[in-house]
Structure 1
Amino acid sequence: MFDRLFGRGRTPAAPALPMVRNITIGRSLRVDPLAWRRFGDAARFSLDGDTLEIVAQGLIDLGADGFVHRFYTDDDVMFQVLSGDRDGAGSEDHTLFVPWSSDYPAAPGDKRRWRDRLQARTFTGEGLPDYRRFWFGDEAETQAPVSFWESVYDNRDAATTRRIYQTCMLFARELPGEGRELLLAIEQEPEGGDMTHEVMIGVPLDIAEFSA
């Protein structure tokens, strides 16, 4: 599905800051720690506290397929929401991600090796178990990652925008009790900035597991 939704040539969305389920810059998001603590040591996802202060907001336009809304803390924790419209009405697929690692591709071949990892059926890393490719399924041995522009705002009047080009793939693994843990592997390149390779670990959230 995602190869239809994301494209490097897509025109960035016009500046605007929708409030999605009462979440936007300057507001607090409260999450239920049982969403991940119930898995105990089986989960790599970890987050201290249950209140997130939102300091930045991102928006990705999927065209006819809707929008991705992202909300960030000072510690780069990311709450992500998919919705059918720009205002965030009828939001779905709510996911909380925390940073796991961030590296600069300095050595020769680093970028190629990272792209190979994004395309592989299985992703792993230091201190991590195996995660299977979630987007597109894991039947194929390799699968091209998806790419898109994200517009990120640091204030609610949307006077300035940071644009970040990302190439990524989503992986997942099953947890006890019908749980699931996600891994988002990203090649990230801000306009005018240096490329980095990011890994984020996430857990899906039900509507009842967060509020603002």
Structure 2
Amino acid sequence: MIFRKLFGGAREAEAGAAIAVVRNVTIGRSVRLDPLAWRRLGPEARFRLDHDVLTVTAQGRIDLGADGFVHRFYTDDHLMLQVVSPDADGRGAQDFTLFLPWSSAWPPDARARRVWADRLRAPAFEDEGLPAFRRYWFGDADAIQEPVSFWEDVYDDRSGRHARRIYQTCMLFARDLPGEGRELLLAIAMEPEGGDLTHEVMVGIPLDIGEFEA
């Protein structure tokens, strides 16, 4: 995966800015996971992780306006803990997911970019080695649905003095597993300031608030 290479195009953040500490999670801290969060999903799950401690080395923030904020915590092996909150400091955090990288590619031409854009709009998504995932955002009401676009500010230290910006267009898909399990798929067209466009697929799981701690 190439997430670290994508964190290019550094710019100065606003004076006095500082990154949030969300449920005690921030750069330089470790997050301990309950491995039952993915082991209970059974052999059909594609999400597999061989360790239960994450060391956070980068942190992102997405401002969704009236829809709140997304806080992302990255590791050197490209795992991403994502938290959705109505407020910028994450105090009202209410949605938690954990994603690992599945595939990453640079589109070779305009046709490949168009094909990817069509895949993001479709009601289902498939990738090599994966079963079909149904669109989770917006449901299946319309055969074609526009994906979501936003800028993410990414920080490599806790001072918040430097932000690296990445423009993303993405769609979230999901599939139900036996019992009450659910697996997620995040498909992204990702372009950092001053960098190259890539197509990313991440596989994830929802986390309960008691399934991780820092």
Q: Note the C-alpha offset of 1:107.
A: 3.7
Select between 14-23 and 108-117 the one with higher mean Cα deviation: 14-23
Give the alignment partner of residue 69 of structure 2, picking from 67, 70, 74. 67
Instruction: Give, in whole Å, the separation in 2 of the partners of 1:16 and 1:170.
Output: 29
| Structure 2 residues without counterparts, runs of 5 or longer | 1-12
What do residues 179-209 of structure 1 show as CA deviations (whole Å, max 9, x unaligned)?
1100000000000001000000010000110
Q: Residue in 1 aligned with 2:99?
A: 97
Q: What TM-score does the superposition give when structure 2 sets the normalisation length?
A: 0.91
Q: Residue in 1 aligned with 2:140?
A: 138
Give the alignment partner of residue 30 of structure 1, picking from 29, 32, 55. 32
What do residues 116-173 of structure 1 show as CA deviations (whole Å, max 9, x unaligned)?
1000011001100000000000121110111000000000001211000000000000
Q: Residue in 2 aligned with 1:126?
A: 128
Q: Note the C-alpha offset of 1:112.
A: 0.3
Q: Note the C-alpha offset of 1:40.
A: 2.0
| Structure 1 residues without counterparts, runs of 5 or longer | 1-12
Give the alignment partner of residue 182 of structure 1, picking from 172, 177, 184. 184
Select between 167-176 and 38-47 the one with higher mean Cα deviation: 38-47
Instruction: Give, in whole Å, the separation in 1 of the partners of 2:55 and 2:163.
Output: 20
Give the alignment partner of residue 80 of structure 1, picking from 79, 82, 99. 82
Q: What TM-score does the superposition give when structure 1 sets the normalisation length?
A: 0.92
Letter in structure 1 aligned against 2:162: T
Letter in structure 1 aligned against 2:46: R
Instruction: Give, in whole Å, the separation in 2 of the partners of 1:105 and 1:44.
Output: 24
The secondary structure found in structure 2 opposite 1:44 is coil
Q: Please report the RMSD computed on the Cα atoms of aligned residues, expressed in angstroms.
A: 1.1
Q: Note the C-alpha offset of 1:177.
A: 1.5
The secondary structure found in structure 1 opposite 2:118 is helix
Give the alignment partner of residue 55 of structure 1, picking from 49, 54, 57. 57
Q: Residue in 1 aligned with 2:7?
A: none
The secondary structure found in structure 2 opposite 1:177 is coil
Instruction: Give, in whole Å, the separation in 2 of the partners of 1:142 and 1:64.
Output: 24
Q: Number of residue pairs matched? A: 200
Q: Residue in 1 aligned with 2:5?
A: none
Letter in structure 2 aligned against 1:118: L
Letter in structure 2 aligned against 1:87: D
Moved over 6 A (4+): none
| Larger RCO: 1 or 2 (CA < 8 Å, sep 6+) | 2
